[in-house]
Amino acid sequence: MDQDLESQRESVECAVYLKALADSVRLQIVRALQAGPLSVSDLAELLEMELANVSHHLRVLYHANIVTSERDGKFIYYALNIEFLKSRAANRSLDFGCCKIDLRD
């Protein structure tokens, strides 16, 4: 019985991650963050999008625990949550435990 509950919990967590990544803009953000932390304005410029749209997508990724944030003065920098990275050196996949997504350049 406990194994069934654990399996169900893992499935719910995995669905949250996959739902957060099921958007082309959010995948572009994840790819951009592979190079290192970026601010909302950096991402908006890179993706040629409005700040509000980028902020919305970052909020979804943040609440799914895929990205982290850190304040530096008046700027907030976002980075991939290293717990999901297969390897810090390779930085090419997100491992959610239930599944792994390999990222391409």
Residue-range domain boundaries for the chain: 2-86
Mean pLDDT of 16-35: 91
pLDDT digits (tens, 9 = 90+) for 40-70: 999 999 999 999 999 999 999 999 989 999 9
Q: Taking the chain, what is the end-to-end CA distance rounded to the nearest angstrom?
A: 43
> What does the mean pLDDT of the chain come to?
85
Query: In the CATH scheme, what is the code of domain 2-86?
Result: 1.10.10.10
Residues 93, 96, 101, 103, CA torsion sign? negative
The C-alpha atoms of residue 1 and residue 74 are separated, in whole angstroms, by 49
Q: Given this model, what pLDDT does residue 13 score? A: 81
The answer to whether residues 78 and 36 touch, using CB atoms and an 8 Å cutoff, is: no
